[in-house]
């Protein structure tokens, strides 16, 4: 099991030069404004189909101002208690919102007859680690304990995309939530802040000549916005790569993307959790399932493929992305009901 010496000086976060910080701030706030305006425009002029809309939009007193979206399956019968899937959207800890995952949540709820809740959390740079982790803990607990919702409290999992995948692995370590969570499902998560973007680029499972991986440029900006100076980058709540199996829920299913520079660090975490040898690690490169741990490296896709986050991806790429998502959602459903949702 990988570990880091806590507080090691070589893994303490530091601020870049002042001019670099100004550039980072301008880029980040410009992107936040463009993203917010773009989403607002799309939502204003596009009508969301009724089956993809949440059943309930709800804030909780523990985190006022954060709207969470609850999806009750159409097949739900009065009095029936349902397994709960808690979802965390991506966005580099700085962008997007819970509504961004509406389609995924609605499909999951109706396909498997489960309750799905898309959780909102505060964003960087105004909220930094570990604040979003504790937003997730507080709201997850509030949802689980919400007597107005038809929840089977013995069957609860927490999943998330990208930054949300990091947060699901982080929040699930906090004792007051860990005891209520059966499993976690991180999709292409950021797991290791101790590695530089250059190190991550060189470790990608697949190198594309066109080099489409945006993280080499945006990774330092996300980190500057999210991590305070002096923070130990090896803290397992931040670099979840270093979380030990006793700190995480029993069931873990991680999905990586073949063209993603975050894939290798995610696979390393899963290899450690599953206790694979180096031979086993290479043999099961694209996927393995051992005991309660499952790893799948989705072929031919890049980071964000579940939401077509690449600019102008093209029709062929969209078709591949949709095919992979359908395959993975089907596989996820099977895994959930033989594992963390097993009666």
Side-by-side strand order, sheet with 56-58: 56-58, 68-71, 115-119, 82-88, 151-161, 183-187, 251-257, 293-298, 287-290
Q: Where would I find the beta strands (DSSP E) of the chain? A: 56-58, 68-71, 82-88, 115-119, 151-161, 183-187, 251-257, 287-290, 293-298
SS3 259: coil
Task: At 43, list the tokens.
Answer: 């939502």
What is the number of other CB atoms lying within 10 angstroms of the CB of residue 280? Answer: 13
Task: At 225, list the tokens.
Answer: 């916005």
Fold of 9-338: Rossmann fold (3.40.50)
Domain boundaries, the chain: 9-338
| Residue 283 · residue 302 · CB < 8 Å | no
pLDDT given for residue 327 in this prediction: 97
Task: At 233, list the tokens.
Answer: 């980058």
Parallel, antiparallel, or unpaired: how do β-strands 151-161 and 183-187 relate?
parallel
Which residues of the chain are under the pLDDT cut of 50?
Answer: 6-9
Kindly report the pTM of this predicted structure.
Answer: 0.94
What is the pLDDT of the chain when averaged over all its residues?
92
């Amino acid at each position: 099991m990988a570990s880091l010496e806590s507080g090691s000086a070589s893994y303490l976060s530091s601020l870049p030069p002042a001019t670099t910080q100004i550039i980072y701030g301008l880029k980040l706030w410009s992107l936040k404004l463009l993203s917010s305006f773009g989403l607002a425009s799309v939502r204003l002029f596009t009508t969301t189909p009724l089956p993809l809309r949440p059943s309930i939009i709800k804030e909780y007193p523990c985190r006022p101002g954060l709207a969470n979206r609850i999806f009750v399956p159409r097949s739900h019968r009065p009095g029936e208690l349902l397994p709960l899937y808690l979802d965390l959207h991506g966005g580099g800890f700085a962008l997007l919102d819970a509504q961004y995952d509406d389609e995924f949540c609605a499909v999951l709820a109706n396909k498997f007859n489960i309750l799905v809740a898309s959780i909102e959390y505060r964003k960087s740079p105004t909220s930094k680690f570990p604040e979003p982790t504790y937003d997730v803990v507080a709201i997850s607990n509030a949802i689980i304990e919400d007597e107005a919702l038809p929840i089977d409290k013995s069957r609860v999992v927490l999943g998330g995309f990208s930054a949300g995948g990091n947060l699901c692995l982080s929040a699930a370590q906090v004792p007051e939530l860990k005891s209520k969570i059966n499993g976690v499902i991180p999709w292409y998560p950021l797991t290791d802040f101790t590695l530089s973007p250059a190190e991550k680029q060189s470790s990608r499972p697949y190198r594309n000549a066109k080099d489409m991986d945006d993280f080499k440029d945006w990774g330092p900006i996300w980190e500057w916005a999210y991590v305070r100076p002096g923070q130990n980058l090896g803290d397992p709540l931040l670099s979840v790569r270093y979380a030990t199996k006793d700190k995480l829920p029993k069931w873990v299913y991680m999905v990586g993307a073949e063209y993603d520079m975050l894939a290798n660090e995610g696979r390393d975490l899963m290899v450690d959790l599953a206790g694979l040898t180096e031979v086993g690690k290479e043999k099961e490169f694209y996927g393995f399932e051992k005991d309660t741990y499952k790893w799948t490296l989705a072929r031919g896709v890049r980071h964000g493929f579940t939401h077509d986050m690449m600019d102008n991806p093209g029709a062929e790429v969209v078709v591949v992305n949709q095919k992979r998502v359908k395959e993975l959602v089907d596989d996820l459903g099977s895994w959930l009901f033989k594992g963390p949702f097993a009666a």
